Structure 1
Amino acid sequence: MTSYLMEIQDSVIKYANIISQVLNVEVEIVDENLYRVAGTGIFKDVINKNMAEVGYAYKNVLKSGQAQIIYDPGKDKLCIPCPNRDICEEKFEMSSPIILKGQTIGVIGLVCMTDEQREHLMERFDINMEFLKQISEFISIAAYEKREKIRNHTLMELFNTIIDKVDQGVLILNKNNYISHINKNASKYLRLSDNYSQTKVSIRFSGDSIFNLHEYKVTIDNENYTLLGSIYPVYLNEDEYDKIFFFHDSKEFKDRLTQISTSKKYIDCEDILGNSDKLNMLKSTIKKVASSTSTILITGESGTGKEMVARAIHSESDRKEQPFVAINCAAIPDTLLESELFGYVKGAFTGADPMGKIGKFELSNKGTIFLDEIGDMPLYLQTKLLRVLQERKVIRVGSNKAIDIDVRVLAATNKNLVQMIEENKFREDLYYRLNVIPMEIPPLRERIEDIKILIDYFITKYLALFNKEFLSIRIEKEVWDIFYSYHWPGNIRELENTIEFIINMVGTDGVIDLNTIPKSILNKKGKQKALDDTEICNLKNLEKKEIEKALNLYGRTTEGKKISAVKLGIGIATLYRKIEEYELSK
């Protein structure tokens, strides 16, 4: 690497000439590598030469960082190793270090070749020594400024290289708001030519913000842009690098934001596990209504998979490439739900984000919004939601500006909304607006023939998740009996949790027996059986129920019916007759 003094050699030569003229002596200045950077008189023609073989006094100054005076050159002890000590023509030599941040970066040598020069120098020795120190400091400062300039230039080149790799648009502006540098993405989007240095930029904050990014109105050559981004001071060189503006196109960023903040995983009807008649009917309904724009009200008990059905509707629709945004109305406090749904502007309320916030309806524009647990929405918000559904516009909290939206609305609840209407807890007009297409998800106990499919799926899932491997997994008959006869009040969610527990508890033999079943299910099953034992059932209904249970348990194939007949203790012909009588053929 080039030494500090070599980087400013022209300036060092000028300083050497000044010293020589003022003090009437010969001057040579060397760097830390003992290369002569500047010289006057006899030293003028040997600049850039290395003097390591003869510069013993300078070596001492570089090592000690202290000034050095040789009153009798050639005879001083420092001169003993010098090969020119016997032919030295110098009469006097004084050396002063050049120090930068505690490091000696060079030496100024004053050399008297005559007695007159020596006498002139010694007459005002202290003043001359102070002058020499001042010159040394000037050289040190010049070296520092040059190195800083090189460092800043290198930093700016590195800075520009990094900026060019950023996937956002980037503008670097000087203190007068002219462009100093622009990366490729910004140049492409703003359509600026290579002669961008003559381009002035006007950037004005619009007052709106989205997820910590301000919205700016940017004017360049009489063209206006709406950009989302951030401005930062640079602190490098305000004449060229005063501030930096990272930005996205407002519309493109909102589109990308919805992709990030919403699920892009497609869940279609094939992902809804089960092959029961009721589930197949549900899947058929999903496909029929998916491409409609009408609102759908999904009802069903907790844990039946209402959000999965909503996602399937979205994935089967023409909007599947657009965002799907889900919000649980019961999980968000009433005071925050309105701002979550509709967004707010800056200063809308105490504690609000000073940059404002975009709402879920805007995020789901062109796509689908899923309002889960709609029955928990407070009445005052139901009124606002009704207006949004009717007018297809939203107004952010604290604003009076309506924003057009195109959103498919799906709602879900496990509550009886009709009863809530009678209790004045839910608006009747909103209910009818939501319930354009009603869709009810059957509870697990009404499609027990799907239990085996679900169990197989969850076993595979949790074996992989827990990194467990078995030659085979075997479920004992009494466990299947419990699975098929249990009421599953928590539905599929409870079944999944049960299988997760079982996979944790199963032994190395891979056998799932009663010891691996959660005690809560065994206890509930026992209470359920005791309750059943105290109830009196109509014999025909009881017979129908047991035949249906056997068919669901062993299947409706010929082989399954044979097993069912044996378990029921009746002949196969009787079974077929009973199936016909009770209309259980499907």
Structure 2
Amino acid sequence: MENSLIDIKEHVKKYANVITNLINVDVGIVDKNMRRVTGTGLYKNIEGVLALGNVYKNTLETGKTNIIKNPRQHDLCSECLDKNNCREKLEIATPIYCRDEIVGVLGLVCFNYDQKEKILNALDSYLNFTKQIAEFIGIKFYEYQEEALKKEREETLNQILNNMTKGVLVSDCHDIILMINNIGLKKLKLSSDYLGKKIKLITQNETIMNEEVYKLIIENNEYNVAGKIIPLALPNGKKSNAFLFDDIQKINNSIVQITNADNTINLDNIIGNSHATLSLKEYIKKVANSTSTVLITGESGTGKELVARSLHNQGDRKDKPFVVINCSAIPDTLLESELFGYVKGAFTGANQNGRMGKFELANNGVIFLDEIGDMPLYLQAKLLRVIQDKKIERIGSNKSINLDIRIIAATNVDLLKNIKEKKFRSDLFYRLNVIPISILPLRERKEDIIPIINNLIYKYNKISDKFVHTIEKEVLTALTEYNWPGNVRELENVIELMINMSSDEGIITKNMLPKNILNNSENTSILSNNLTFKENITLENFEKIEKEYIEKALLIYGNDTESKKYISEKMNIGLTTLYRKIKKYNIKV
């Protein structure tokens, strides 16, 4: 809202009365919108009325002091709307400035010749006096604006602070509480009567999610919080601090949300019909709730992380953090700080706030140490100590952090061979290998290939907006006969490639196979009941092919309404027609 002289009319009225009492003339004061603020004599008690005089208007426009010695005859009076009612004998209009802006006009008006003669005989003195009063009014208006602006800023700041998700506590240089926002009161379970109380912040020399951990003491109450201190300067020049904080529990919940954001993998994501795969899933169910360490072994690409995530999601820690670290992907010099974290100033180049390690991040949950066979020997000794003591210390700290954590490790190397070669500690191996899980390579469980292909076709059809529904017999033969040295990861890459190469016909043909698989294929006839093979289409077998086509589409995309709409669009038929064909062919949905 725009400020006006009317907002300080009581102050302006005092100045108007001073002028009238000293020099015995009437005073009229208007704001920059020509509204009357206050006055004396004839201009008394008409606040808010629009002034009609052209002299005031000219002063507002030009910023000049106008002296009208002959009212009604002066050039400025020629266009005055109130000319015929004018009784003035002399008028002086002086602009009122606030900073460099004209905010109103101060007018001195004489209604008899004695007053006029008195003013004209000492005109310069009265002009100086009038300008001085106008200046006083401008200063008072400036003070009012500054105070209003300050209050507006305070209100805006309070609104911002009270809508923050963090607690904010402002204290002065003597650690006396000046303000706590609403969320801060809620987090600390305080009432507003804590204003004026003394606080004490004690750093714990550790960080969590890049926030420093403090013990906050208010009177006899202690709180464990994490946040940062921001120095402030109060308007009176005194120093103060704003403490932005969160409670530890909320930060821990945030850690769980972040670490579990992509952890939607469960046993259903382990695809396969082989005895090995079905046994693996049953085994995971049995050991999921255990706190014992797990060692997953298997060739690269067999799905070790998939098994680890399924193990976590099946167990009673599924709502706790699941943190992954690849021991081979991080340089040896950095791996220790990644695992255990460090305090501020621990070493050159360290983050000035310190950093939480992966073990601390995974506390109360699960840590997955992938490629454990590549961990350097000196860290293997520290890891062994963590497993035994259930404690860690950040680099540069002598403070122990208790752990309630499950460790799952994985490797694609022969650890027993590494033990013989002095590359891996035998004691660590036995500590990790409490619950061993061995994943067979894909070539030793070929019964899983077709279900995995079905799942991958569904996945990449969705991703690429394709409708691949048929694989030629020769392609299936080649895929099932191939030994898959890259295991499931290699199979997935091949299926993704072929779906990208497929046309609108929705058929994967032999010429889409990579050369290494094509050259490896033999003339072996492998029939699959799970996939439709390309046949010569005749009128006699058309209905059989159409039925199989619809059945396969329902198998791949599902049988809900949205899936059926998608299938009908790809078949270029209406949804009603698709329902009619499903009924005609007695297709179970």
What's the TM-score once normalised by structure 2's chain length?
Answer: 0.82
The question of whether the paired residues in 2 share the 8 Å contact of 1:207 and 1:355 is answered with no
> What are the superposed Cα offsets for residues 33-74 of structure 1, whole Å, 9 maximum, x if unpaired?
32221213443x233052433x21111112223322212122
Secondary structure class of the residue paired with 1:507: coil
Q: Which moved more, 1:416-425 or 1:175-184?
A: 175-184
* Per-residue deviation, 1:350: 0.8
Aligned CA distance change for structure 1 residues 555 and 509 (closer, same or farther; 3 Å): closer
Change (3 A) 1:2 1:413: closer
2:360 is aligned with what amino acid?
A: E
Question: Aligned-pair distance for 1:343?
Answer: 0.8
Give the direction of change, closer, same or farther, for the CA distance of 1:52–1:29 in structure 2 (3 Å limit).
Answer: closer
d(CA) in 2 for partners of 1:267, 1:52: 78
* Most deviating of 165-174 and 314-323: 165-174
Change in Cα spacing, 1:102 to 1:520, as seen in structure 2 (3 Å) is farther
User: Using a 3 Å threshold, how does the CA distance of structure 1 residues 244 and 477 change in structure 2: closer, same or farther?
Assistant: same
String of CA shifts for 1:250-274, please: whole Å, max 9, x gaps: 2432343233234463433232111
What is the deviation of 1:373? 0.5
Structure 1 residue 196 corresponds to structure 2 residue 194: yes
Deviation at 1:127, TM superposition (A): 5.2
What residue number does 2:47 align with? 48
**Residues paired across the two proteins, number:** 530
Rate the CA distance shift 1:140–1:521 in 2: closer, same or farther, 3 A: farther
Alpha-carbon distance, 1:220 to partner: 1.3
1:116 is displaced (CA, Å) by 4.9
Match of 1:148 in 2: 146
2:469 matched to which residue of 1?
A: 473
1:131 to partner: Cα distance: 4.4
Moved over 6 A (4+): 238-241
Deviates more, 1:396-405 or 1:28-37: 28-37
Who is 1:511 aligned against? Answer: 507
Contact 2:92 2:107 in 1 (8 A): yes
Q: Is the 8 Å Cα contact of residues 234 and 241 (structure 1) preserved in structure 2?
A: yes
For residue 450 of structure 1, what is the aligned residue in structure 2?
448
Tell me how far 1:445 sits from its aligned partner.
1.1
Does residue 1:169 correspond to 2:152, yes or no?
A: no
Q: How far did residue 4 of structure 1 move?
A: 1.5
Structure 1 unpaired stretches of 5+: 530-545, 558-586
CA distance change for structure 1 residues 263 and 57 in 2, over 3 Å: closer, same or farther? closer
What's the counterpart of residue 323 of structure 1?
A: 321
Q: Which moved more, 1:211-220 or 1:444-453?
A: 211-220
Query: Which of the residues 486, 489, 514 maps onto 1:490?
Result: 486
Matched residues in 2 for 1:415 and 1:126: separation? Answer: 103
> For 2:147 and 2:424, how far apart are their aligned partners in 1?
71
| 3-state SS in 2 of match to 1:248 | strand
Give the CA deviation at 1:496.
1.1
Question: Do the aligned partners of 1:264 and 1:323 also contact (CA within 8 Å) in 2?
Answer: no
Which position in structure 2 is the counterpart of 1:27?
Answer: 27
Which SS does the other structure have where 2:195 is aligned? helix
Residues 201/74 of structure 1: CA separation in 2 closer, same or farther (3 Å cut):
farther
Distance 1:197 1:438, change over 3 A: closer
Q: Give the secondary structure class of the aligned counterpart of 2:324.
A: strand
Q: Distance in 2 between matches of 1:71 and 1:521?
A: 109
2:294 aligned to 293, 296, 300, which one? Answer: 296
What is the rounded CA distance, in whole Å, between the counterparts of 2:119 and 2:214 in structure 1? 68
Aligned sequence identity (%): 48
Relative distance call for 1:258 and 1:339 in structure 2 (3 A) is farther
Amino acid at match of 1:499: I
Distance 1:294 1:149, change over 3 A: same
Which residue is equivalent to 1:75? 73
The one-letter code sitting in structure 1 at the alignment partner of 2:481 is S
| Stretch moving more, 74-83 or 483-492 | 74-83
Q: Which moved more, 1:189-198 or 1:376-385?
A: 189-198
Q: Which amino acid aligns with 2:17?
A: N
Structure 1 Cα separation of the partners of residues 517 and 42 of structure 2: 105
Once the 2 structures are TM-superposed, how far is the Cα of residue 334 of structure 1 from its aligned partner? Answer: 1.3
Q: What SS does the aligned partner of 1:46 have?
A: coil
SS at match of 1:216: strand
Query: In 2, are the aligned partners of 1:174 and 1:238 still within 8 Å (CA)?
Result: no
1:238 to 1:182, Cα distance in 2 relative to 1, 3 A? farther
1:177 Cα shift?
4.6
Query: Does the residue aligned with 1:73 lie in a helix, a strand or coil?
Result: coil
2:265 to 267, 271, 274: 267
Offset, 1:5 = 0.4
